[in-house]
Amino acid sequence: MPRGQAADDGATFVNQNGYHHTKANGRFVATHILLMEEKLGRKLVKGEFVHLIDTSREKRANPTIDNLELRTRGDRKSPQARLAHLEAQIEELQSEADELRKKIASNGG
């Protein structure tokens, strides 16, 4: 497409960071977002975002639905990080429960 000429809907380009974009409804949108919205049958809602599982330059430039994952804000932790956080919470609660048991036992009920 010649420089300075308006692009039609459906036009595409790959930006300097390697992400594929497609023009839809008069504006360019990251193609991976359009793919996820098509799969969901709706627009993304506030707090949702599309995560590329494999972020290699090749995958960013040629996104496919099997490389996409719908996430919500605050959901950025890996499963391992989330598990570690939960285990730490469990340990804290277990310690608190043990202290309460000791207190109850020393007071005779």
Q: What is the mean pLDDT of residues 76-86?
A: 73
E strand segments, the chain = 12-14, 20-24, 27-30, 48-52, 68-72
What's the pTM?
0.62
Contact 8, 50 (CB under 8 A): no
Q: What is the mean pLDDT of residues 30-34?
A: 94
pLDDT tens per residue, range 42-70: 999 988 899 898 888 888 888 999 999 99
Tokens of 25: 């409804």
Q: What is the mean pLDDT of residues 76-80?
A: 70
Query: Phi, psi (5° rounding) for residue 13?
Result: -160, 160
Domain boundaries, the chain: 1-75, 77-109
Q: What pLDDT score was predicted for residue 64?
A: 92
Tokens of 43: 């627009």
Confidence of residue 77 (pLDDT cuts 50, 70, 90): low
